[in-house]
Amino acid sequence: MSRGIARRALLLGASLSGLGLLVGASLMQGCEEEKAAAPDRGAVLVALVDVVVLPSLAEVATRAEAMTVALDALATQPSEASLQGARAAWSEARGAFRRTLAFGIGPSDDILVTGGILDEPTNPEKLDALLQAQPPVDLTAVRSAPASARGFLAIEALLFDPALSGEQLLARFSTDPLAEGYKSTLKALGADLRDKLLAIVTGWEQDFARQVRSAGSGSSVFKAQRDAFDVLLNRALSVSDRALDVLRKSAGITTDDPLTPVADRSDRTLDDLRDDLRGIENLYTCSRDGKSGPSVASVVAEVNRGADEGMKAAVAAALAALAGFQGPLRGAAASRQAEVDELLARLRQVKTTMATQVFNALGVSVGISDKDGD
């Protein structure tokens, strides 16, 4: 259109040359206004904290409290109902926590806060030693125990055992010679885990949320907004990377990290992977429970719409593949190799799309080792 105007200006003479300049200036102003309307990364960080992070952590706190009540109920009055209630409450608390891993920075990644127990592989010998401690285990004893005898997976080991029937497992808390040890250990493990989770929530609420919101404008942790984006996106990438090891370990495929913790006693591993991906999706789209705000996705789309669409499609495909996998993942590679390979391909696509297209669009540098060759 500007060429047509310029051509007419030449035909009509110098009297219209000024009109051509005005039109050009108008077009330039429009471009500047369009550029100014691009997503503000500061607004994205604020929305991410307020729409996703803090509400997700509030759910963690609620579920953690409910878990301790349910574990105490099982220890106080063992029954099929209290066992199922304890298992459900444990699973709900674990799910709420897993959905925060994609933005598990700051207090979530501080060993002084978490104590390294939130997702450690369980050492049966260490847990047995704790169960047999005299006098009966209390919170002090649990907090002195190694990480491999504490946390979500230690509680799982007390609530689930594929080799035992429900009646046999309930006997742990009633007629077993170590029943008092089982009861007291279960209660203390629950209280310890709750306190660790609440410490994460408190750390975010008291200071770290402010640090992320004010990145680049007063934050003592993130001198630039890009620093916050780098840390958050690399954390999400590390979750997508670890998901591959979790899948391999559970399915029975050789993995680079044989100590990768998996929730196979309860056969919750597929749910863990779904929750991990939901957390990545929430982080990327800045959406949760029907609420949304300025997002990482909107920033990516402004630079490369294809990258944004590819990321969303990769996450959706991975979630669909996980939802369509029937039965437990534990040991599935032995009889369902093709299905496991499909899950691996879908999860790998999430990682690859994030590490290349999304990171390139954002100007973020990959900060994890690329052992998967993507």
Q: Are residues 205 and 250 in the same domain?
A: no
- pLDDT class for 368, splitting at 50, 70, 90? low
Kindly tell me if the per-residue pLDDT of 258 is higher than 90: no
Nearest to 285, CA basis, from 303, 304, 263, 301: 301
Residue-level pLDDT at 38: 56
Claim to verify: residue 6 and residue 71 sit in the same structural domain: no
Structural domain contains residue 148: yes
* 64 plus 118 within the same structural domain: yes
Do residues 247 and 205 share a domain? no
Determine, yes or no, domain membership for 33: no
pLDDT at 27 over 70: no
Residues 47 and 189 placed together within one structural domain of the fold: yes
Which of 261, 132, 109, 117 minimizes the C-alpha distance to 190? 117
Report the mean per-residue pLDDT for the chain: 89
Whether 100 maps to a domain, the answer reads yes
Judge if 143 and 193 occupy the same domain: yes
Average pLDDT over residues 291-296: 97
> What pLDDT, on the 0 to 100 scale, is given for residue 371?
43
Q: Report the predicted TM-score, pTM, of the whole model to 2 decimal places.
A: 0.88
Provide the pLDDT for residue 43.
97
Sign of CA dihedral 217, 220, 224, 229: negative
Q: Note whether residue 35 is domain-resident.
A: no
343 lies in some domain = yes
Contacts of 328 (CB under 8 A, 6+ apart): 264, 267, 269, 270
Across the range 2-29, mean pLDDT stands at 36
Residue 188 lies in a domain: yes
Does residue 285 register a pLDDT over 50? yes
List all residues 6 or more positions away from 368 whose beta carbon is below 8 Å from its beta carbon. Answer: 234, 237, 238, 241
In this structure, the answer to whether residues 188 and 250 fall within a common structural domain is no
Average pLDDT over residues 122-142: 90
Quickly count: other Cβ atoms within 10 Å of residue 68's Cβ.
Answer: 19
Separation of alpha carbons 239 and 89, rounded Å: 24
Its domain, for residue 13, covers 2-27
Task: Answer yes or no: do 46 and 190 share one domain.
Answer: yes
Mean pLDDT score, 190-195 = 98
Residue 36 lies in a domain: no
User: 211 and 232 in one domain?
Assistant: no
pLDDT of residue 133: 84
Q: How many domains does the chain have?
A: 3
Domain boundary among 200, 216, 232: 216
Quick one: tokens of 257?
Answer: 């990290």
The sign of the torsion formed by the CA atoms of 320, 323, 325, 331 equals positive
32 domain-assigned? no
Q: Is residue 44 over pLDDT 90? A: yes
Take residue 149 and report the two structure tokens written for it: 């005898």
pLDDT at 136: 80
- Residues 271 and 152 sit within 8 Å (Cβ to Cβ): no
Do 308 and 164 fall into the same domain? no
All residues at 6 or more sequence positions from 242 whose CB lies less than 8 Å from its CB, including other chains: 260, 276
What's the CATH number where 70 sits? 1.20.1420.20
Domain's final residue, options 192, 216, 240: 216
Strand pairing of 291-292 and 287-288?
Answer: antiparallel
Q: Of 216, 247, 278, which residue constitutes the final position of a domain?
A: 216
pLDDT over 90, % of the chain: 81
205 and 66 in a single domain? The answer is yes
Q: Assess whether 240 and 363 both reside in one domain.
A: yes
